[in-house]
Amino acid sequence: MAKITIDGKEFDADPKQTIIQAALDQGISIPHFCWHPKLSVAGNCRICLVEVEKMPKLAIACSTLVADGMIVKTESAKVVNAREAVMEFLLINHPLDCPICDEAGECKLQDYAYRLSVGVSRFDFNKVRKPKRVELGPNVTLDTERCIMCSRCIRFCDEIAKETQLVFTQRGDHVELTTFPGEALDNPYAMNTIDLCPVGALTSSDFRFKARVWEMSSTESVCQGCSRGCNTKMWVRNNEVLRLTPRFNASVNDYWMCDEGRLNTFKHVNAETRFKAPMIRKQQGLVEVGWDEAIARVVSELRSFKGHEIAAVASAFATNEDNYLFVKLMRHLGVGKVVYLPHVKRGDQDDILIREDKTPNSCGASAVGATALPEHGPLAGLLEEIQRGVIKALYVVDDDILTDPVAAEAFSRLDFVVAHASNDNGVSALADVILASSTYAERHGTMTNFQGRVQRIRPAVATAEQDRALDGFSMSRLDKFGSHNDRWMRGARRDARPTWRILANLAGVLGAKWKYATVEDVFAEMASTLPAFKGLSYQRVGSQGVVLPANQETPASVQR
């Protein structure tokens, strides 16, 4: 270890570290644009200049290795003057469009301009004009004038995504970021360049001009796109999810997430296909009813069948708590086996993040007692039993298992079908009762990824059930927010409930003496009764997750 001093603070540091890394480990922040902990060092922004005693000139902290006895100053007069000069240089040709820039509020250049710049420009000539609103790829839009040539996006494509797609052309003050001839920024991780961009040059084509960062709330969650379970932040305005961004977790996804998970795992939350209340099929079709009527109908029907006549299908999209209570309820009814449908796309996997298993919780479903159906022809055995009249009722939790027309025709012969569903799907089209369930964006719970890591999801948007829990919530309280809150009110009126609570209500009517006030009570029972979850709690799971005891002996590098 090398003993170094930064701004009067002496500590030991790894001699393989650079000054900026050693400083960050001690909570000392050195300004930077081009440096990133997971990318190679470029050293081209120069904002991280520091003064090192016995060095003739200022050194860039991102590429200078620490050495024993090194004394570093990050706020000396020479350093401050140098930063002011760098900021003046970066702002010479930068457009003055902060009021209309999507990056405003989370822009490093904007922050540093306030903190480190003199606030006055000596440049009296016209700024260099460059292309604007350039579609680099299907999901990324470039404003070339805002680019400060940090090269983070180029290095990400080369080093992380392994796709050489971006390059600087021209040079000098006319330098431009662009794609190679005939190329587009269309690799599966292209939108990570938006997060990496320290200014507003690269923006999301999907999120562009929808909201400012200070108008949204952010909630920690987990991506539902595959069994990796990337840690995310869910950004919400007016009770509508507007974007997902990756959240750092070194054991799961580092700083990244794929474009598929970023764009296609939240659009259903506020889709027009959402069920707004429980529904029962009557002569005129599916009709919205109250929860008491829907639950009474389900209980009445289930009591009319023997356990072996009911097919119980859990879900690898549901939480651990949901599947645990579903298995428990089915056992109460005498159902011998609970299964779940695999959603695996063979070949759709890479060595970065993407997994073939396109569900977030197949590992958790198995851990709580559900059995995976075979990948090929998963419903074959179930269809045969339906055709022979052995299976007469179907109970499906939060999964669309009827995408095959042949299967749908066979399932139409069932005497009774009940489904937990948030959106209209193949099962709901045949269901006799639909129990409107909340989405992962509206519930508490845990998911277990393919590594056996238990991770938490949290509600980011509200439903009617959550609003009732506020006790005193009323539409008059909504009125003070103004008409712009229409989406918020629409979501608040949606009478959807988390699956675990629906199951608990059903169990109560069926005579089971369950006592769960919160979903945390369910998890506590799991931790005390299931060996796989032994000793776990929400506090231990935290924001980074925790590996199930049975999986802790396998190194994370092997699991990946």
pTM over 0.95: no
- Burial per residue of 487-505, b for 16 or more beta-carbon CB atoms within 10 angstroms, e otherwise: ebbebbebbbbbbbbbbbb
- Taking only the tens place, the pLDDT of each residue in 236-276 is 999 999 999 999 999 999 999 999 999 999 999 999 999 99
- Taking only the tens place, the pLDDT of each residue in 26-37 is 999 999 999 999
Mean pLDDT score of the chain? 91
Q: Is 404 helix (H, G, I), strand (E, B) or coil?
A: coil
474: pLDDT confidence band, cut at 50, 70 and 90?
Answer: very low
Q: How far, in Å, are 3, 287, 379, 445 from residue 461 at the CA level?
A: 49, 25, 34, 15
Alpha-carbon span 447 to 541, nearest angstrom: 11
76: pLDDT confidence band, cut at 50, 70 and 90?
Answer: very high
- Taking only the tens place, the pLDDT of each residue in 187-210 is 999 999 999 999 999 999 999 999
Report whether pLDDT(490) > 60: no
Res 385: pLDDT: 92
465: pLDDT confidence band, cut at 50, 70 and 90?
Answer: low
557: pLDDT confidence band, cut at 50, 70 and 90?
Answer: very low
Res 491: pLDDT: 53
Q: What is the mean pLDDT of the segment spanning 299-320?
A: 96
Res 122: pLDDT: 85
Nearest to 232 by CA among 38, 460, 9: 460
Q: What is the mean pLDDT of the segment spanning 472-481?
A: 37
Q: What is the mean pLDDT of the segment spanning 50-69?
A: 95
Res 118: pLDDT: 85
- Taking only the tens place, the pLDDT of each residue in 402-457 is 877 778 888 888 999 999 999 999 999 899 999 999 999 999 999 999 999 999 99
pLDDT above 90 coverage of the chain, percent: 82
> Nearest-5° angle of CA 481, CA 482, CA 483?
135
Q: Residue 170 carries which side chain, given as an amino acid letter? A: Q
Res 377: pLDDT: 82
- Taking only the tens place, the pLDDT of each residue in 383-404 is 999 999 999 999 999 999 887 7
- Domains annotated on the chain, with CATH: 2-91 (3.10.20.740), 98-107+122-270 (3.30.70.20), 279-552 (3.40.50.740)
Report whether pLDDT(484) > 70: no
Q: Which helix (H) or strand (E) holds 234?
A: strand 231-237
Report whether pLDDT(307) > 60: yes
